[in-house]
């Protein structure tokens, strides 16, 4: 009888979510003026009050705009002192807290920001080669996806773990090999190889993305639309995905490898433009979202496609994020779990001047 109830609940849940709508809600141009020219964005968030905080990695600061796109203030500057950053990356915002990594100094910062835009550092941790990170406030932890590194206290090379904000202890969640598939043998990272024996995973971009909801972590690698779901309590995992006809799974051909080995950056970029790249994963109380990008030769811009799943891994729908395009295959996105709003930052150059526009979508 219990099994029947569970099956009935899953059927009801899938049925109720299958009608989810992805609605374009407009755009906001971010003002660019003296002191507020965004040189190169590396993450952004939108606060409850509607302030848009953009990390400008080249300027090593954070430019802040109101909900109408008007320049308000700047926080931080280049340096190695208090409230200074060498190579910042804005990863997440939740309950008045910002999560920032600094690639060069190997630091992970948690800043509080109030409605008056006063910033104060709450905590800092040491974290190397961070590629994505999320605040886990109710667990007092930070979720981190990173490059494959073996820590002194770990028995394997892990790319996903949670870190306690108070004492820095780590709960290792995913070894590197799981990114490549099931039952993959441990990789010998110190092995010297003939260039033509270079594994495909080295040639493909390393970007990884993560998020969580409740007791489950969701992870994905940019070069494979294959979602890995991990239970925080048991560490058990499962996989799910739906590779549609729009998605072109990255595959390393001999010519692609040749461009990599010979450092032919133009040819390598051309190969990348022929493939699809996952650029975001998010999870809320109802759904798991994946965004991947395809290069559009007509516009010379990258288009973004949003896939929606339920938490059981059932594929619900895929849609093009209309009107939005990017110069890069990994544009910046931010998802507000409470409001179920997806924000996408588009950049475009006209001559020597750059323009940044925020696009908004609702998931209902």
- Residue-wise pLDDT for 119-150, tens only, equals 999 999 999 999 999 999 777 899 999 999 98
Predicted local distance difference test score (pLDDT) of residue 359: 98
Whether residue 81 lies inside any domain: the answer is no
Q: Are 304 and 326 a contacting pair, CB within 8 Å?
A: yes
Indicate whether 340 belongs to any domain.
yes
119 falls within a domain: no
pLDDT of residue 6: 41
- Report, as an integer, the average pLDDT of 2-12: 43
- Distance in angstroms (rounded) separating the CA atoms of residues 251 and 44: 31
Per-residue pLDDT band for 262 (boundaries 50, 70, 90) equals very high
- Percent of the residues in the chain that have a pLDDT greater than 90, as a whole number: 83
Query: Percent of the chain, pLDDT > 70?
Result: 94
Residue 313 has pLDDT above 80, yes or no: yes
End-to-end CA distance of the chain: 33
pLDDT at 332 over 50: yes
| Tokens 């630091």 found at | 107
pLDDT band at 192 (very low <50, low <70, confident <90, very high): confident
Model pTM?
Answer: 0.92
* SS3 at position 190: coil
pLDDT in the model for residue 352: 53
329 occurs within a structural domain: yes
Report if residue 96 sits inside a domain: no
CATH of the domain at 340: 2.40.128
Please report how many Cα atoms fall inside a 13 Å half-sphere around the Cα of residue 95, on the Cβ side. Answer: 7
- Tell me which residue of 307, 236, 264, 286 sits closest to 22, measured CA to CA: 307
Find, among 322, 363, 319, 317, the residue nearest to 346 by Cα. Answer: 322
Segment (H or E) for 124: strand 119-126
State the average pLDDT over residues 78-83.
95
* pLDDT for residue 9: 41
For residues 275 and 285, what is the distance between their CA atoms, to the nearest angstrom?
31
Closest by CA position to 279, among listed 230, 349, 209, 228: 209
Predicted confidence at residue 268, as pLDDT, reads 96
Give residue 18's pLDDT: 61
Q: Is pLDDT at 353 greater than 90 in this prediction? A: no
pLDDT band at 152 (very low <50, low <70, confident <90, very high): confident
Query: In this model, does residue 7 exceed pLDDT 60?
Result: no
Lowest mean pLDDT among 32-41, 67-76, 192-201, 317-326: 192-201
Alpha helices (runs of H) in the chain, residue ranges in sequence order: 2-17, 176-180, 200-203, 254-261, 265-273
pLDDT tier for residue 351 given thresholds of 50, 70 and 90: low
Does residue 2 form part of some domain? yes
Q: Which pLDDT belongs to residue 35?
A: 87
Among residues 232, 213, 162, the alpha carbon closest in space to that of 340 is found at 213
The beta strand positions in 58-115, using DSSP E, are 61-65, 71-75, 77-78, 84-85, 88-94, 97-102, 107-113
Residues 261 and 272: their CA atoms lie apart, in Å, by: 15
What's the average model confidence in pLDDT over 264-286? 97
Q: Say what the pLDDT of residue 350 is.
A: 60
Contact 345, 333 (CB under 8 A): yes
Query: Which residue segment(s) compose the domain that 355 sits in?
Result: 1-23+197-364
Sequence-ordered alpha helix ranges (H) in 154-292:
176-180, 200-203, 254-261, 265-273
User: Tell me, what's the pLDDT at 354?
Assistant: 72
8 has a pLDDT exceeding 80: no
Mean pLDDT score of the chain: 92
301 has a pLDDT exceeding 80: yes
Are 40 and 57 within 8 A, CB to CB? Answer: yes
At 2 the pLDDT is 46
Distance, C-alpha 93 to centroid of its chain: 13
pLDDT at residue 10 above 70? no
287-301 mean pLDDT: 97
In a domain, 352, yes or no: yes
pLDDT confidence band for 11 (50 / 70 / 90) = very low
Q: Are 33 and 360 in contact (CB under 8 A)?
A: no
The domain tally of the chain equals 1
Average pLDDT score over residue span 278-299: 97
3-state secondary structure of 173: strand
> In this structure, is residue 56 part of a structural domain?
no
Comparing 17-26, 214-223, 264-273, the range with the smallest average pLDDT is 17-26
> Cβ distance 209 to 132 under 8 Å?
yes
């Amino acid at each position: 009888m219990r099994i029947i109830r569970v099956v009935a609940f899953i059927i009801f849940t899938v049925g109720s979510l299958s009608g989810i709508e992805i609605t374009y809600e407009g755009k906001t141009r971010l003002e660019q003026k003296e002191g507020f020219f965004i040189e190169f964005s590396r993450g952004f968030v939108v606060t409850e009050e509607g302030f848009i905080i953009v990390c400008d990695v080249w300027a090593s600061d954070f430019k802040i705009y109101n909900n109408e796109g008007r320049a308000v203030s700047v926080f931080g500057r280049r340096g190695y002192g208090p409230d200074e950053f060498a190579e910042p990356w804005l990863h997440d915002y939740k309950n008045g807290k910002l999560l920032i990594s600094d690639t060069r100094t190997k630091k992970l910062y948690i800043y509080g920001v109030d409605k008056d835009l006063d910033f104060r550092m709450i905590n800092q941790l040491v974290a190397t080669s961070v590629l994505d990170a999320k605040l886990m406030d109710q667990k007092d932890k930070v979720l981190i996806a990173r490059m494959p590194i073996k820590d002194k206290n770990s028995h394997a090379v892990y790319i996903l773990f949670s870190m306690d904000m108070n004492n820095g202890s780590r709960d290792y969640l995913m070894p590197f090999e799981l990114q490549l598939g099931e039952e993959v043998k441990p990789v010998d990272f110190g092995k010297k190889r003939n260039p033509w024996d270079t594994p495909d995973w080295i040639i493909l971009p390393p970007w990884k993305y993560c998020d969580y909801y409740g007791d489950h972590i969701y992870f994905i690698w940019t070069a494979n639309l294959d979602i890995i779901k991990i239970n925080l309590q048991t560490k058990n995992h499962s996989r799910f995905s739906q590779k549609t006809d729009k998605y072109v799974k990255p595959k390393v051909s001999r010519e692609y490898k040749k461009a990599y080995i010979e450092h032919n950056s133009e040819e390598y970029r051309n190969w990348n433009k022929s493939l699809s790249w996952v650029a975001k994963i998010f999870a809320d109380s109802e759904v798991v979202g994946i965004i991947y990008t395809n290069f559009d030769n007509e516009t010379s811009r990258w288009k973004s496609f949003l896939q929606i799943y339920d938490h059981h891994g059932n594929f619900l729908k895929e849609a093009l994020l209309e009107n939005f395009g990017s110069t890069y295959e990994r544009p910046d996105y931010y998802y507000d779990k409470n409001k179920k709003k997806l924000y996408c930052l588009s950049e475009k150059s006209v001559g020597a001047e750059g323009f940044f526009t925020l696009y908004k979508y609702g998931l209902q």
